[in-house]
């Protein structure tokens, strides 16, 4: 079909108008198809138990309008007789748009899958939450680094020389930010070694709180009084950490003193009373109870038992029940608790 000659210089306006029409038509068609697919596929994904289709819908939603426009323009160039330089320019733009869009799709899919896996493992393995967060961060950096290198290569830049130059410059940057890098490697140590996880209760020197977040530079704890405690990762790993989140049972040691006037027959009953008091409560395991020593004002008994839960409130409930039981039994047996006393002996001089 011969198009009418309507030119301005070397430009055929009819061909340009047809190309613009094709670009806008393809763009509108793809935009409508994208919306229809998101709506129908989204409703289908909500009705299924499979999570993969939900993630694919999220990926489809990240399809950008400018990418659809570039696809429309690439279709329009088929109707134009462009100079070789302009044709190369359009080809570079199309490849760059495709790389950027592919990066968005891949990043979204990766984030969605890791987030679902993180939520799934959060209840059974809290340590994996920190690991997956760092893995997600590193994976996205690697992904966008590949996209950047491919884009630069498409623009004609010597990527090999660039990587070599970045290697030399990276050494200088590493020396300048060695403290930050120290915290970064410390965070990787926390991720790999897992000395604690999100939700664990820690005591660090004189500070104590529950772990809220493990970041690339800092770890944040929520103290019992409500404020947030922030530690740099490198300083944290150099401290002595007491992790109560890894406690499976609590060992309890307590001492009771009775008066020196207590008869020996009643002293022999005290260990069995202690066992009875401990075993009267659930979630306990009695270990031992012994007449430990002769104190300065009392006969001291040491009792050891275990609470089969790390919950501090439950431990205090059990210890209270044990104390009340001991108090009741001592009343029944007529055994007196000792308290600090002194006995003064007055000797009359001989006459």
Q: What is the pLDDT of residues 165-178, one digit of tens each?
A: 555 555 555 554 55
Query: What is the mean pLDDT of the segment spanning 23-40?
Result: 83
How far is the C-alpha of 177 from the C-alpha of 316, rounded, in Å? 48
Asked if 311 and 292 sit in the same domain, the reply is: yes
Asked whether residue 111 is assigned to any structural domain, the reply reads yes
Please give the DSSP secondary-structure letter assigned to residue 98.
H
Asked if 113 and 199 sit in the same domain, the reply is: no
Asked whether residue 5 is assigned to any structural domain, the reply reads no
Q: Name the range with the highest mean pLDDT among 81-85, 190-194, 202-206.
A: 202-206
Asked if 230 and 260 sit in the same domain, the reply is: no
pLDDT over 90 for what percent of the chain? 23
Reported as type and span, the H/E element at residue 187 is helix 178-193
Asked if 18 and 92 sit in the same domain, the reply is: yes
Query: What is the mean pLDDT of the segment spanning 224-237?
Result: 87
pLDDT tens figures, 309-342: 888 888 999 999 999 999 999 999 999 999 887 7
Burial of 318 from C-beta contacts in 10 A (0-12 / 13-18 / 19+)? buried
Burial letters for 266-299: b for 16+ Cβ neighbours within 10 Å, e otherwise?
Answer: eeeebeebbbebbeebeebeeeebeeeeeeeebb
Q: Name the range with the highest mean pLDDT among 85-99, 142-156, 186-200, 273-287.
A: 273-287
Asked whether residue 73 is assigned to any structural domain, the reply reads yes
Asked if 299 and 312 sit in the same domain, the reply is: yes
Strand duo 218-223 + 207-214: pairing: antiparallel
Asked if 208 and 277 sit in the same domain, the reply is: no
Asked if 233 and 295 sit in the same domain, the reply is: no
> Of 98-107, 188-197, 251-260, 294-303, where does mean pLDDT reach its minimum?
188-197
Asked if 111 and 17 sit in the same domain, the reply is: yes
Domain that holds residue 316: 250-333
Task: Please say if the pLDDT value at position 273 is more than 90.
Answer: yes
How far is the C-alpha of 23 from the C-alpha of 90, rounded, in Å? 13
* Arithmetic mean of pLDDT over the chain: 80
Task: Please say if the pLDDT value at position 15 is more than 90.
Answer: no
Task: Please say if the pLDDT value at position 151 is more than 90.
Answer: no
Asked if 14 and 76 sit in the same domain, the reply is: yes
Res 3: pLDDT: 47
Res 8: pLDDT: 47
Asked whether residue 350 is assigned to any structural domain, the reply reads no
Confidence of residue 61 (pLDDT cuts 50, 70, 90): confident
Asked if 24 and 135 sit in the same domain, the reply is: yes
Query: What is the mean pLDDT of the segment spanning 185-210?
Result: 82
The total domain count for the chain is: 3
How far is the C-alpha of 3 from the C-alpha of 310, rounded, in Å? 85
CB of 322 closer than 8 Å to CB of 277: yes
Q: Which residues pair with 228 in a beta bridge?
A: 222
Asked whether residue 3 is assigned to any structural domain, the reply reads no
Asked if 140 and 215 sit in the same domain, the reply is: no
Asked if 77 and 35 sit in the same domain, the reply is: yes
Q: What is the dihedral of CA 312, 318, 321, 322, to 10 degrees?
A: -110
Asked whether residue 50 is assigned to any structural domain, the reply reads yes
CATH of the domain at 296: 3.30.70.100
Burial of 256 from C-beta contacts in 10 A (0-12 / 13-18 / 19+)? buried
Helices 127-154 and 178-193: crossing angle, nearest 10°? 130
Asked whether residue 1 is assigned to any structural domain, the reply reads no
How far is the C-alpha of 128 from the C-alpha of 137, rounded, in Å? 14
CB of 237 closer than 8 Å to CB of 190: yes
Task: Please say if the pLDDT value at position 127 is more than 60.
Answer: no
The whole-model pTM stands at 0.49
pLDDT over 70 for what percent of the chain? 80
3-state SS, residue 317: helix
Q: Which of 246, 261, 296 is the C-terminal boundary of a domain?
A: 246
Asked whether residue 170 is assigned to any structural domain, the reply reads no
Confidence of residue 36 (pLDDT cuts 50, 70, 90): confident
How far is the C-alpha of 351 from the C-alpha of 343, rounded, in Å? 25
Q: Which of 246, 264, 293 is the C-terminal boundary of a domain?
A: 246
């Amino acid at each position: 079909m011969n198009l009418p000659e309507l030119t301005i210089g070397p430009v055929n306006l009819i061909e340009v108008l047809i190309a613009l029409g094709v670009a806008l038509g393809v763009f509108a068609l793809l935009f409508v198809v994208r919306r229809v697919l998101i709506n129908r596929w989204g409703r289908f994904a909500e009705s299924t138990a499979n999570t993969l289709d939900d993630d694919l819908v999220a990926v489809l939603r990240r399809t950008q309008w400018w990418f659809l426009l570039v696809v429309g323009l690439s279709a329009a160039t088929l109707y134009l007789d462009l100079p070789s330089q302009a044709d190369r320019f359009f080809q570079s733009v199309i490849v760059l748009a495709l790389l950027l869009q592919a990066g968005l799709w891949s990043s979204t899919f990766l984030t969605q899958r890791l987030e679902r896996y993180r939520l799934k493992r959060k209840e059974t393995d809290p340590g994996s939450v920190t690991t997956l967060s760092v893995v997600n961060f590193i994976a996205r950096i690697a992904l966008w680094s590949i996209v950047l290198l491919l884009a630069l290569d498409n623009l004609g830049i010597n990527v090999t020389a660039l990587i070599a130059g970045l290697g030399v410059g990276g050494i200088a940057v590493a020396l300048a930010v060695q403290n930050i890098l120290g915290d970064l490697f410390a965070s990787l140590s926390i991720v790999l070694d897992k000395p604690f996880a999100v939700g664990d209760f820690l005591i660090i020197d004189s500070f104590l709180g529950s772990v809220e977040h493990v970041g690339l530079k800092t770890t944040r704890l929520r103290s019992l009084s409500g404020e947030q405690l922030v530690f740099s990762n490198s300083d944290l790993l150099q401290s002595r950490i007491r992790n109560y989140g890894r406690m499976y049972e609590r060992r309890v040691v307590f001492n009771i003193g009775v008066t020196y006037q207590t008869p020996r027959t009643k002293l022999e009953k005290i260990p069995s009373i202690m066992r009875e008091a401990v075993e009267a409560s659930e979630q306990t395991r009695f270990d031992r109870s012994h007449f430990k020593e002769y104190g300065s004002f009392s006969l001291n008994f040491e009792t050891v038992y275990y609470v089969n839960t790390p919950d501090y409130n439950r431990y205090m409930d059990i210890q209270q029940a044990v104390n009340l039981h001991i108090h009741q039994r001592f009343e029944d047996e007529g055994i007196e608790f000792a308290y600090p006393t002194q006995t003064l002996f007055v000797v009359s001089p001989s006459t």
